[in-house]
Structure 1
């Protein structure tokens, strides 16, 4: 590090961490960046988590417990299984309570729904806008933009009947207490920031007793967003672009594997060619395969910490055992590194680069953003819309149990879910290999027939780094990653 700093300056060093770290660990990362003097620090949020964590203020679980009507966007039962009991109890507490699920897949959550609005992939914003229009027949003020949209056309573009949408709006408005729950997948919902904005407006339009519960996937996503804003970290989409362009000479990966999160051939090539790559990690990933040095980290159970939950409440935990031989907590590794750097270098003046963000009131209007979603909702002949299926936990649990095969069984990779009718039309049987091609790459996967998807929709595991390579990770107009579905073509695998 001192060599790179002497030759190319402190800003040639990039640091990346991830939002499943405790707040105390993220603050340690910030201290390290200040000692080095680099402003090129980022947190590898899942694409849906950054807009979700910075756009809305979430209510607590009590908003669901007391609700007579719950509207869910996403598969909460899979992504946040602890919430499942709360939601089921809310539905069956009193006769007439209702549960509506907006999700293109017949998920575990949808099974318990009073009504499942199985929309076209990526059109959740259109559904919420159509519901909002049903609540605001004569829109004024901040709802005046509704005069420029046709609720029937929005519902139709989402693949739904307007009567279904109106039913949800009436139930939500009539309920003494109601809640909207947002739990988006990594990829599948176009413009998550717009969805969050519309959910906020629905809560306002519904009147008293209405609440919004927003559930990021990262365990400390809210705390990580606060740390990133407080220290002026750049967005990971910007740091990734800098790596691909060769702007950095050294990369410190503190607990995350960038090529697994946002795969691209350009990123892999850039990491392999960098003069210095160092990693602090629990698992071996692509970064570790090209790293000059890997410092093994202990598991989460062997370190204490603090984090902020989705509703900004704080949770603390203590280690249950000492670190395994040869491993250390991330904070200890960083403290030792800081001691060495301070002894070798004067503390540099840090140059802070503000995060990329669209200023309040800037950027396209709600109507323009809805039109973009409508435009992207159609699928060309022969193409399928690809979404991700979330994991109900972390594959890293295998390292805690010392039984990695268990993790592989619970969180399999290398598959793609396809509707039975689509497979039949392709001449592919369940379990056969297929070649999946998108504008971003080509991957060979095993086909799984499912009755959970409508024709024209496919799904891959969000934790499968190879399958994530089918999605485009180029920053969108606001500088952040896209969150919508990918467009793919699938054919039977041929070895030639």
Structure 2
């Protein structure tokens, strides 16, 4: 209505782990989008986290809460039905599976869009109501790092607000592209003091690396060896007791395996040792870093080798990813928690007959032909989500869920602090918050069951993490690093190139959520391959030509584009598309059981029909 006053409500961006503050504003009493009363985003300049700054995703949030593709009605086999009918059918199917195969034939997987209360609720629904221990969070990018940090007791206490005073900042990965809002604080710290140092460890010469005083560009996948080299140098310079840090890697061999010189590693170690304070920040994409859990572990170790001077911060991908993982990985009744990838393996093996998915799409996150076929053979699949995905197409029962600004609750911030927020817009159509779905489904399964989640429940789940001394984990990590050091000496003639992932700021994670952004459609609607011009010339490829990428997992054809930031033996692709993720191997960390989505060896060639 012309001249009417806009409604304005502060909320939190529901996409990435920075949880940036923003303001949603709309005309009239209804926030639902029409041409006459559009929702828009305004900047929350008073927010202490982002100080009003927003990335392309945050600027597009109004689209998510008011999108024509939103799921708005429950469905059974693609047919719109009332909530009661959908829940009744789900309960009937689940009871039948438990009676026929037992409760362990059921699996439950959660994504990073749940609140802490919802994470506790999904755990109670699975373990107490359904009777299965097969419940987990699934985060291919962060699960491995989460496992190690949980065992170590997390490393909380450092906040983004503390960045400005740090003399030395070491970034592992393409932090500016993956979490653009953080760049302002990092650059402010860099230029505040002429004695400050910004180092970047990344296999690509990215925009983040372009701001560094020094860019350490290791061979893809060897980042943990570089961090281990830094740890060894810091240990020696700090004159630690003999045996306290017992990695004992040959630094010359590390330099040869990583293509990062001893002098470069020594420069970083010296800066960390002499500065009054510093921080190491790790950000990982699917297929970007080698052994991301090992990298996180070594980041923790570095803080212990320079006590009181160095902080470590892992930047997860998804909104409340850490909170959901921390709640669900705590296990139940003395039983060890199972990992998300192990649940997927059980589906492939046919052990799990019924699956409940809440806010994630495994067929976008960890796609393989084997998983595709196994998901199609499930006796029952329930999916609760915000948008249509590959997995929703297979759902026997589909339930429309709410997104962040449409529900209230608590989420966990990067430093372990809890953030509470309230719903500011209603969910579209018949969509509901996941907590409502859990409670209603539990009632259908057992009429005398009520899922009551208290603040104490959340507190207890968050308090059950680790505290294992790092030196107890070190021998196992050292063994893996030694194996990697030996393996890097060989050459793979069948697959001579490295494939690594590249971040596109309009996208996030597997892209199942952000592919709905109009901005994402404009800047990266479909996957492509980037290669150095010299490699393109060698293969007689021109800008935009179709090229075949082959790995041990499979092959795909994409257009190729030039990128001078890559080495001539490295190609990159956006990991926000299932077609790209299918090329990467399912390597599980033997300690965590989580996926290690590292760089993949590939062959680049012209498609056969165009050869």
TM > 0.5 fold call:
yes
CA distance in 2, matches of 1:266, 1:188: 23
Q: 1:423 to 1:14 in 2, by over 3 A?
A: same
Residue pair 2:171, 2:201 contacting (<8 A) in 1 also: yes
| Residue 191 (structure 2) aligns with | 92
Where 2:531 maps in the other structure, the secondary structure is strand
How much does 1:97 deviate? 0.9
CA distance in 1, matches of 2:302, 2:606: 44
Where 1:365 maps in the other structure, the secondary structure is helix
**Cα root mean square deviation, aligned:** 2.7
- TM alignment of 1:174-189, pairs within 5 A: 174-189=274-289
* Aligned partner of 2:163 among 49, 58, 64: 64
Where 1:439 maps in the other structure, the secondary structure is coil
How much does 1:343 deviate? 2.5
CA distance in 2, matches of 1:219, 1:405: 20
Where 2:171 maps in the other structure, the secondary structure is strand
Residue pair 2:144, 2:589 contacting (<8 A) in 1 also: no
Residue pair 1:263, 1:468 contacting (<8 A) in 2 also: yes
Where 1:307 maps in the other structure, the secondary structure is strand
- TM alignment of 1:98-137, pairs within 5 A: 98-137=197-236
Where 2:246 maps in the other structure, the secondary structure is helix
Greater mean alpha carbon deviation, residues 153-162 or residues 464-473: 153-162
| Residue 351 (structure 1) aligns with | none
Note the alpha carbon deviations across 1:455-493, whole angstroms, 9 max, x for none. 111112121111100011243433222232111111112
CA distance in 2, matches of 1:363, 1:69: 25
How much does 1:280 deviate? 0.7
CA distance in 1, matches of 2:207, 2:118: 34
Where 2:220 maps in the other structure, the secondary structure is coil
CA distance in 1, matches of 2:555, 2:118: 37
How much does 1:141 deviate? 4.3
Where 2:286 maps in the other structure, the secondary structure is coil
Residue pair 1:443, 1:466 contacting (<8 A) in 2 also: yes
- TM alignment of 1:421-436, pairs within 5 A: 421-436=534-549
Residue pair 2:550, 2:556 contacting (<8 A) in 1 also: yes
How much does 1:289 deviate? 1.7
Residue pair 2:116, 2:327 contacting (<8 A) in 1 also: yes
| Residue 118 (structure 2) aligns with | 25
Residue pair 2:529, 2:559 contacting (<8 A) in 1 also: yes
What stretches of structure 2 of length at least 5 have no aligned partner? 1-93, 452-463
| Residue 365 (structure 1) aligns with | 476
| Residue 416 (structure 2) aligns with | 312
CA distance in 2, matches of 1:403, 1:412: 10
How much does 1:256 deviate? 0.9
TM-score, scaled to structure 1:
0.90
TM-score, scaled to structure 2:
0.74
* Aligned partner of 1:199 among 291, 294, 299: 299
Find out whether 1:414 has 2:501 as its counterpart.
no
| Residue 145 (structure 1) aligns with | 246
- TM alignment of 1:43-442, pairs within 5 A: 43-52=137-146, 53-54=149-150, 55=152, 56-58=154-156, 59-137=158-236, 140-141=241-242, 143-146=244-247, 148-232=248-332, 233-343=337-447, 361=472, 365-377=476-488, 379-381=491-493, 383-392=496-505, 394=507, 404-442=517-555
CA distance in 1, matches of 2:119, 2:295: 28
Q: 1:421 to 1:14 in 2, by over 3 A?
A: same
Residue pair 2:303, 2:311 contacting (<8 A) in 1 also: yes
Count of equivalent residues:
485
| Residue 36 (structure 2) aligns with | none
Residue pair 1:125, 1:373 contacting (<8 A) in 2 also: no
CA distance in 2, matches of 1:447, 1:89: 36
Note the alpha carbon deviations across 1:257-308, whole angstroms, 9 max, x for none. 1111111111111111111111111222221122112112233322223211
Residue pair 1:50, 1:225 contacting (<8 A) in 2 also: no
CA distance in 1, matches of 2:487, 2:530: 21
How much does 1:239 deviate? 0.2
